[in-house]
Amino acid sequence: MVVFQWRFQWRGLYGRIKDYITWKISQIVLTFYTLTFNTHMDQNYIIDCLLEPIFWFVDNFAGNLGKVFVFCVTVLTTAVVTIAYWVGLPYWWQKNEYITVFLVVFGNWLLLNIVFHYYMGVSTPPGYPPHGSMISEAASICKKCISPKPPRTHHCSVCDRCVLAMDHHCPWLNNCVGYFNVRYFYLYMAYMVAGVAFVIIAGLDLGYQVLWVNDTGGLTQEHDPDLIGHPVRMNQSGVLVPVQVIAEYDSENSPREHHLPTPVITEAQRITAHPWKRKAVVFMAVTCLSVFFALGTLIIMHGKNISKGETSVEAHINASLRKLDKNQFRNPYNFGRKKNWKLFLGLTQGRTFFRNVLFPSKHPPSGNGLTWHTIHNAIEDWP
Active site residues: 170
What part of residues 172-211 is at the interface with Zn ion (CB under 5 A)?
176
- Side-chain-side CA neighbours of 17 within 13 Å: the count stands at 6
Q: Which stretch binds Zn ion (CB under 5 A): 70-78, 138-146, 221-229, 290-298?
A: 138-146
* 103 C-beta neighbours (distance < 10 Å), count: 19
Q: Which three-class secondary structure state does DSSP give residue 232?
A: strand
165 is an interface residue for Zn ion by CB under 5 A: no
Closest CB to Zn ion among residues 65, 378: 65
Residue 97: CA count within 13 A, CB half-sphere: 0
Residue 155 interacts with Zn ion (CB under 5 A)? yes
How far apart (Å, rounded) are the C-alpha atoms in residues 7 and 350?
99
Shortest Cβ distance from residue 58 to Zn ion (Å)? 10
DSSP string, 251-270: TTTS-SS--SPPPPPPHHHH
**Is 65 a residue that touches Zn ion (CB under 5 A)?**
no
CB atoms within 10 A of CB 77: 19
Choice from 77, 122, 167, 169 touching Zn ion (CB under 5 A)? 169
What distance in Å separates the CA atoms of residue 171 and residue 308, rounded to the nearest whole number? 25
Q: Which among 139-147, 209-217, 254-262, 286-294 is the span making contact with Zn ion, rule CB under 5 A?
A: 139-147
At its nearest, how many Å lie between Zn ion and the CB of residue 145?
3
Question: Shortest Cβ distance from residue 381 to Zn ion (Å)?
Answer: 35
* Binding of residue 130 to Zn ion (CB under 5 A): no
The beta-strand segments (E) located in 36-127 are none
**Other Cβ atoms closer than 10 A to 174:** 22
Task: Check whether the bond before 360 is cis (ω within 30° of 0).
Answer: no
Q: Count interface residues toward Zn ion (CB under 5 A).
A: 10
Give the residue with the Cβ less far from Zn ion, 177 or 271.
Answer: 177
Considering only 145, 298, 357, 378, the residue that binds Zn ion (CB under 5 A) is 145
* Among the listed residues 81, 83, 103, 156, the single contact to Zn ion using CB under 5 A: 156
Residues that bind Zn ion (CB under 5 A): 142, 144-145, 155-156, 158-159, 162, 169, 176
